[in-house]
């Protein structure tokens, strides 16, 4: 009997280890404010799309997103609305990019030559 319970404990601790080994994805806390001034905080994954409305936890009314600036953080890596090229074009002209591209390609060619 003692052996059985021991085995059970070992198994339990093993599965606990597995659970803690999982790395949590980054989170964001979003606050919603209803017309009765109740604040409802909801935690989303950092890359999740945050809805602009949420049901108030206290009075079940529709609560509105309190800090939309937090939800619309400019994260080019997670937002797929804009492509990398579009972001680049906001910072540089196409002519600049053509020159840059030629430079990078020439550099790459040189590096490959040196590597072999
Ligand atoms: Zn409320």
pLDDT in tens, 34-56: 999 999 999 999 889 999 999 99
What pLDDT, on a 0 to 100 scale, did the predictor assign at position 41?
94
Ligand 1 centroid–CA 67 distance in Å is 17
Ligand 1 centroid–CA 40 distance in Å is 8
Grouping H, G, I as helix, E, B as strand and the rest as coil, residue 30 is strand
pLDDT, averaged across the chain: 78
Q: 69 or 44: which carries more pLDDT confidence?
A: 44
Sheet holding 62-65, edge to edge: 39-45, 27-33, 62-65, 53-55
pLDDT in tens, 3-30: 555 555 555 444 554 555 566 678 989 9
């Amino acid at each position: 009997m003692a052996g059985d319970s021991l085995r059970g404990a070992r198994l339990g601790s093993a599965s606990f280890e597995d659970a803690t080994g999982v790395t949590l994805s980054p989170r964001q806390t979003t606050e919603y404010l209803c017309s009765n001034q109740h604040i409802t905080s909801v935690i989303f994954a950092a890359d999740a799309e945050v809805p602009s409305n949420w049901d108030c936890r206290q009075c079940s009314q529709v609560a509105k997103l309190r800090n939309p600036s937090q939800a619309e953080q400019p994260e080019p890596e997670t937002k797929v609305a804009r492509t990398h090229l579009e972001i680049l074009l906001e910072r540089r002209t196409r002519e600049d990019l053509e020159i840059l591209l030629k430079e990078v390609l020439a550099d790459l060619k040189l590096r490959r030559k040196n590597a072999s």
